A and B are shown apart, each in its own frame.
Chain A
């Protein structure tokens, strides 16, 4: 689809922005170019639609030399989204989306149809938003329109230059998810530039990490997480607060710090009510912060059936498994499995209750840890769904 062959770009003044870049991007891939500012990622992107011309080397698009193609035609066939959105402020949302189709001479009715289809695709009502101006939209909505504008003429290739960089974190994540969904649905080839490693990990099929105009590592998100090519990549991943490896986690990293508790002098009826309210089958008995034991629902029933009045202290049993906050998570997990219990209690050296680790929280950690690779998560989900079906 796109091929860089020994491409270099030296700017006036001698700055080498891109240094002998070789890169082949296949059709349908979601490739993220990532790296610190000045690494040449944006320059590489802009050389594809010839907003910047390479100093040497050749870029091929569909096996044709980019520089041999008519630049206007080339650009009309490549979607382009930029960080500052770049919607034309004097045109309505509909007119902005229809820009490239209009440039390509689509009939008016077809343009309008396409605009409506695209707006509906991102859940924006064409009747409400079509006639608005960009200034009347929120930042997130504007960038949705920016993405739709790039999709409008149905190009096979879309270039995105830090499109979500200026958005607040919540909106950004929302748009990332939408983009990922759109890409899976539409199977476009997307080349996406960002300096945010988390964004790259979330979106990419393939990540190309760049530094000083060259490729440092080119691999799947999982490949990069598992086998960083060098210290630079490792620190780049580290800096983006990538989830820790499971092996390194300790109990305190994952424990639930607010388990459901009860004081020993409380009545059994109250204990039962609290269990029902919190949807748990056992309570931890705590006096002045110190763990005294646990009380299980099944221990309560005999008393309640006989209508006896008793306090929690009379029925509590000892906690089967306890660990310390700095116990490795793997040890806690092993105990969970061994004792066939639902939770492991975490206490410190003075016997004070610090939290609990449940089976559910372990699953959460594992999923979180695999989020690094979207496909892996999906595989898990698929396997889980398949397993449940059998």
Chain B
């Protein structure tokens, strides 16, 4: 009986996909662009410089890493809802802010770790050759930290794709809308219409970004890391 029910549900889901494809594509692209690329992109712009500064000033390190940890600890749904009373209203806005904050920590932490992980001898060699602190950062530390920073971006992206489905709870868009609607109407196939593409997207993003990570790693650095 349950097998029949599953088949029926899947069949309805496929029919729904076929009948509402343009609407679903719009939801997918809203999910990707507005709820993942925008917050993660903004997070990169903020978190990488913060991570770098944290390696320079230990006080800043304690503050930003501490804050990041606090944000990460707040349950995602609570964080999403928190911004409604704080004046952002309902819709995509509170979702974008919450997803942005959520992405900060993994990127910041990996930037910090990546730069701190550059061997002291290399830093001393760079300084000893007469590089300015800025040159040391851009010619030595950042290129060597790229793989670690990229891994942070990947983690943040995958988390954002999943968490973005919750934004429908605060009136936001994306694939979460189907899941919420399916739950409200007790329509299993609608839940799947939202859940399956979201899961596939998370897997694809993880795969794609790990390739990007490899591609962005300088060849000499890859050889060097393989040897160690």
Is the beta-carbon distance between B227 and A135 smaller than 8 angstroms?
yes
Q: Is B89 interfacial (CB-CB < 8 Å)?
A: no
Bound-complex Cα distance A87 to B122 (A): 7
B6 at the interface (CB under 8 A from A): no
Q: Once the chains bind, are B121 and A75 in contact (CB under 8 Å)?
A: no
- The yes or no answer to B15 lying at the interface (CB within 8 A) is no
Question: How many Å from the CB of A22 to the closest CB on chain B?
Answer: 24
- Return the CB mask of B118-140 against A: 1 if under 8 Å, else 0: 01011011111111100100011
Q: Which residues of A contact B227 (CB under 8 A)?
A: 135
For residue A363, CB closer than 8 A to chain B, the reply is no
Q: Is the CB of A103 within 8 A of B135?
A: yes
Q: A99-B129, A103-B129 are in contact. Are A82 and B220 (CB under 8 A)?
A: no
Q: Tell me if A90 and B130 are in contact (CB < 8 A).
A: no
Return the contact of A133 from the options B122, B130, B219 (Cβ within 8 A). B219
* Residue of B126, B128, B218 contacting most chain A CB atoms (<10 Å): B128
* A136 pairs with B223, CB closer than 8 A: yes
Smallest distance from the beta carbon of B2 to chain A beta carbons, Å? 56
| Minimum Cβ distance to chain B for residue A209 (Å) | 25
Chain A residues bordering chain B, tally (CB within 8 A)? 26
A residues less than 8 Å from B135 (CB atoms): 103
B144 interface residue, CB < 8 Å from A? yes
Judge whether A135 and B128 touch: CB under 8 Å: no
Instruction: Specify which of B130, B139, B140, B218 is in contact with A75 (CB 8 Å cutoff).
Output: B130
Nearest B-chain residue to A79, judged by Cβ? B129
In the complex, residue of chain B having the shortest beta-carbon distance to the beta carbon of A90: B218
A74 at the B interface (CB under 8 A):
yes
Closest CB in chain B relative to A143 CB, distance in Å: 12
Contact indicator A133/B128 (Cβ below 8 Å): no
CB-CB < 8 A to B125: which residues of A? 80, 82, 84, 86-88
Rounded to whole Å, the gap between the CB of A361 and the closest CB of chain B is 45
B129 near A91: Cβ-Cβ < 8 Å: no
Q: Give the size of the chain B interface in residues (CB under 8 angstroms).
A: 25
Are A75 and B144 in contact, CB atoms less than 8 angstroms apart?
no
Contact residues in A for B218 (Cβ distance below 8 Å):
89-90
Q: Quick check: B121 and A90 within 8 Å, CB to CB?
A: no
CB nearest to B228 among chain A residues: A135
Among candidates A49, A51, A92, A149, residue contacting B220 with C-beta atoms closer than 8 Å: A92
Known: A134-B220, A134-B224, A135-B223. A90 touches B143 (CB 8 A): yes
Query: For residue A67, which residues in chain B have a CB less than 8 angstroms away from its CB?
Result: none
Is there an interface contact between B124 and A86, defined as CB atoms closer than 8 Å?
Answer: yes
A77 to B129, CA, bound (A): 8
The reply to whether B131 and A103 contact each other, CB–CB distance below 8 Å, is yes
- The CA of A99 and the CA of B129, in the complex, are separated in Å by 8
Listed residue (B125, B135, B218) with the most chain A CB atoms within 10 angstroms of its CB: B125
In the complex, the chain B residue whose C-beta lies closest to that of A74 is: B130
Neighbouring B residues of A75 by C-beta, 8 Å: 127-130
Complex CA–CA separation, A130 to B221 (angstroms):
16
- Tell me the minimal C-beta distance from B123 to chain A in angstroms: 9
Chain B residues within 8 Å of A87, by CB: 125
A237 to B126, CA, bound (A): 35
Chain A 64-101 per-residue mask, 1 if CB under 8 angstroms from chain B, else 0: 00000000111111001010101111111000000110
* Cβ of B23 under 8 Å from chain A: no
Does A76 contact B223, Cβ atoms closer than 8 Å?
no
Q: Could you tell me if B124 and A103 are in contact, using CB atoms closer than 8 angstroms?
A: no
Question: Chain A contacts of B143 at CB under 8 A?
Answer: 90
Closest A residue to B144 by CB, please name it.
A90
A residues in contact with B122, CB < 8 Å: 86, 88-89
Q: How far is the CB of A77 from chain B (nearest CB, A)?
A: 8
B70 → chain A closest CB, angstroms: 34
Cα–Cα distance between A124 and B199 once the two chains are bound (Å): 54
Q: Do the beta carbons of B226 and A80 come within 8 Å of each other?
A: no
- CB under 8 Å from chain B, chain A span 39-77: 49, 51, 72-77
Question: Of B128, B132, B144, which contacts A51 at CB under 8 A?
Answer: B128
Complex-state Cα separation, A75 to B129, whole angstroms: 6
Bound state CA distance, A92 and B223, in angstroms? Answer: 12
Given A84-B121, A86-B122, A88-B140: A135 and B220 interface contact (C-beta under 8 Å): yes
User: How far, in angstroms, from A87 to B128 measured CA to CA in the complex?
Assistant: 12
Q: Which residues of B contact A72 (CB under 8 A)?
A: 130-132
Given known pairs A84-B121, A89-B144, A90-B143, the reply for A73 and B130 (CB within 8 Å) is yes
Establish whether residues A89 and B220, one from each chain, have CB atoms under 8 Å apart when the complex forms.
Answer: yes
Interface residues of A in 235-287 (CB under 8 A from B): none
Verify A90–B128 contact, CB threshold 8 A. Answer: no
A contact set with B: CB distance below 8 Å: 49, 51, 72-77, 80, 82, 84, 86-92, 99-100, 103, 133-136, 149
- A-B contact list, 16 entries, CB within 8 Å: A72-B131, A75-B127, A75-B128, A75-B130, A76-B129, A82-B128, A84-B121, A88-B125, A91-B220, A103-B130, A133-B219, A133-B224, A134-B224, A135-B220, A135-B223, A149-B129
The 7 closest A-B pairs by CB, nearest first: A86-B125, A133-B220, A76-B130, A75-B130, A89-B224, A135-B223, A90-B218
Given contacts A86-B121, A86-B126, A90-B224, 11 further A-B contacts (CB under 8 A): A51-B124, A72-B132, A73-B130, A77-B130, A88-B126, A88-B140, A89-B122, A89-B221, A89-B223, A103-B129, A103-B135
